[in-house]
Amino acid sequence: MKYDIRIYGDPVLRVKSVPVGKIDEDIQQLAEDMIVTLRDNNGAGLAAQQIGRTEGICIIDISRDMTGDDSEYDGIEMPIIMLNPKIVDKAGAQEGQEGCLSFPDVYVNVERAAEITVQYMDMSGSDRELKVRGIVARAVQHEADHLRGILLVDHMSPVQKVAVAGKLKRMKKKALKK
Ligand SMILES: [Zn+2]
């Protein structure tokens, strides 16, 4: 089943996720639905809050044409389904344009760590650790933020916020009407 994407202003985007305990049918269905929803929207990542759920789950799905550089994958298979992801190590810095399905038509420069180590549970219930860099590291940091209720707008400088103020206002208005 495909979900509607929750847009900035929807209070669920600010809710901190609840860690997933065991992998039951509900979580399996949720992961499947999130992948379908993400691909339908041509996104690079999706967190539960963005479809109105609060389980600690996010999907990373970076297609190769998003990077043009295979080396950033380090052999990682996409999509990655992460349960309860926790970034345990960060190194370096990268600056780059970042967008978000919950902020349509908004792209801003955000500084992120260049390389991160993330711990999470996979869909078989095993604990995993992954070291990623480049655009994959950026996506994981973005989704881990979502699961803590932190949004793209929180990374904007005052100047960036002024530049997209009109768009943000319209999103909030729409979200409140629903
Ligand atoms: Zn996002």
Q: Identity (one letter) of the amino acid at 164?
A: V
Q: What is the pLDDT of residue 76?
A: 81
Q: What is the pLDDT of residue 163?
A: 92
143 tagged catalytic: yes
- Could you state, in order of their start, the residue ranges of all structural domains in the chain? 11-177
Looking at residue 66, the DSSP 8-state letter turns out to be G
Q: Quickly count: other Cβ atoms within 10 Å of residue 148's Cβ.
A: 14
Distance 46 CA to ligand 1 centre (A): 6
Q: What is the pLDDT of residue 13?
A: 98
Cα separation, 150 vs 71, in Å, equals 29
Distance 26 CA to ligand 1 centre (A): 23
Q: What is the pLDDT of residue 68?
A: 57
Q: What is the pLDDT of residue 175?
A: 79
Q: Of 3.90.45.10, 3.40.50.620, 3.40.50.300, 1.20.58.1690, which CATH number belongs to 11-177?
A: 3.90.45.10
Structure tokens at 173: 């208005």
Cα separation, 172 vs 30, in Å, equals 26
Q: What is the pLDDT of residue 74?
A: 65
147, with CB counted inside 10 A (0-12, 13-18, 19+), is buried
Distance 82 CA to ligand 1 centre (A): 15
Distance 145 CA to ligand 1 centre (A): 8
Distance 162 CA to ligand 1 centre (A): 20
Q: What is the pLDDT of residue 72?
A: 58
Q: What is the pLDDT of residue 75?
A: 72
Blockwise average pLDDT, block size 10, the chain, 178 residues:
95 98 96 96 96 97 66 75 98 96 95 97 96 94 98 95 94 81
Give the containing element (helix H, strand E) for 177: helix 165-177
Q: Pick the catalytic residue from 55, 72, 98, 143.
A: 143
